[in-house]
């Protein structure tokens, strides 16, 4: 498996991965998958900020992606980003999420980001929360009953990772 910077040619696969989660799950509150044009627009906006947009490629196939975008547009937030990570169903449980998220945090730290936030839907499946905690995120808040999708009422959990002393090598014990 290779973790690399995404390219425009990857956006169809990225859209398929995200579309699976939009239509079949509650991990995102989007109710319609973004179009390829929407993905292109998002890609170029992220590229303009210098923040990472990564894909995990396994045997020539994109099986996951992770991106960072500015948390808010006000200048005082310039060192804070929000991350988003999604995997193809067959990539779950294989270390793809950990590889993507640690590389994303490494790349964010290199760009001068000091705080990375994640807004995770509490789906009842602990996998995403476990992944984020494993990568150094701590829970900083919960918004109760803010989402309604597929007949469910859902909370979101706000998580934060401070990168000022970030080291994926130390975190993962591979120093």
Q: Contact at 8 Å (CB) between 98 and 51?
A: no
pLDDT of residue 167: 64
52: which 2 tokens?
Answer: 């990472």
Q: Contact at 8 Å (CB) between 131 and 101?
A: yes
Helix, coil or strand: residue 52: coil
State how far the alpha carbon of 5 is from the alpha carbons of 61, 112, 146, in Å: 14, 18, 33
Between 2.40.50.1040, 3.40.605.10, 3.40.630.30, 3.20.20.70, what CATH number should domain 2-171 receive?
A: 3.40.630.30
Mean pLDDT of 66-77: 96
pLDDT of residue 166: 67
pTM of the model: 0.93
- How big is the chain by its Cα radius of gyration, in Å? 15
Mean pLDDT, the chain, integer: 94
Mean pLDDT of 142-149: 97
Mean pLDDT of 128-134: 95
pLDDT of residue 104: 98
DSSP per residue, 62-131: EEEEEEEEES-SSGGGTTEEEEEEEE-GGGTTTTHHHHHHHHHHHHHHHTT--EEEEEEEE-S-THHHHH
Mean pLDDT of 150-173: 82
Give the residues across from 156 on adjacent strands: 121, 143
Tens digit of each residue's pLDDT (9 = 90 or more) over 41-59: 999 999 999 999 999 999 9
Angle formed by the axes of helices 96-110 and 127-134, nearest 10°: 40
Taking the domains of the chain in order of start, what are their residue ranges?
2-171
């Amino acid at each position: 498996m290779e973790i690399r910077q995404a390219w425009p040619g990857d956006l169809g696969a990225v859209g398929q991965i995200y579309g699976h989660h939009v239509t079949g799950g509650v991990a995102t509150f989007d109710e319609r998958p973004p179009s390829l044009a929407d993905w292109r627009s998002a890609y170029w906006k992220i590229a303009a900020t210098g923040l990472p947009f990564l894909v995990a490629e396994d045997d020539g196939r994109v099986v996951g992606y992770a991106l960072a975008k500015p948390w808010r547009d006000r200048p005082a937030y310039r060192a804070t980003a929000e991350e988003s990570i999604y995997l193809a169903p067959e990539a779950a449980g294989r270390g793809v999420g950990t590889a993507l998220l640690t590389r994303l945090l490494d790349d964010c730290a290199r760009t001068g980001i000091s705080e990375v936030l994640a807004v995770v839907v509490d789906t009842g499946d602990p996998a995403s929360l476990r992944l984020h905690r494993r990568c150094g995120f701590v829970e900083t808040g919960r918004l109760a009953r803010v989402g309604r999708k597929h007949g469910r009422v859902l909370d979101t959990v706000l998580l934060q990772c401070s990168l000022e002393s970030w080291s994926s090598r130390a975190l993962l014990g591979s120093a």
